[in-house]
Structure 1
Amino acid sequence: MSELARELGVSDPQLYKWRKEFVEFGEGSFPGKGNLKLSLEQEKIYELEKRLKDADLESDLLKKAIGIFSKSGR
């Protein structure tokens, strides 16, 4: 990976980040960048997956907050 990063003129961490994003989103990676064109359906799926991920994070934070506040009220 280090050799490839040098050849592309990017940092190692950036290359790892791109690989992780590609593994996670596949062809939906990097929308709007480069020459990749997503179909309307792919764009909708990408947006819904992003919203679901955000909602899951919100839910986890709220659960943790409820746990913290319920302990402090004892």
Structure 2
Amino acid sequence: MTAGNQNFVLENLSKMYFSVSDETSTTGISRLENVASQDVTAIYDLQGHQVEKGKMTKGVYIVKTKGGTYKIALK
């Protein structure tokens, strides 16, 4: 399968999984950065609710800083 658009008739599908693989590029963590806590301007959960830094539980968050926006996962 090549990259691009693919059309499927839904009534013919029972269960299907999609994956894109490009063996010429790698995936994963490209760089690690430390963000100073004073640089954090807002933290949101995946539902878009703002969360206080001290009340974060396990999950994925969107962290807005002065220098950019990052996704983080707390385990």
Give the structure-1-normalised TM-score: 0.17
Which protein is richer in helix relative to its size?
1
Which protein is richer in strand relative to its size?
2
Give the structure-2-normalised TM-score: 0.17
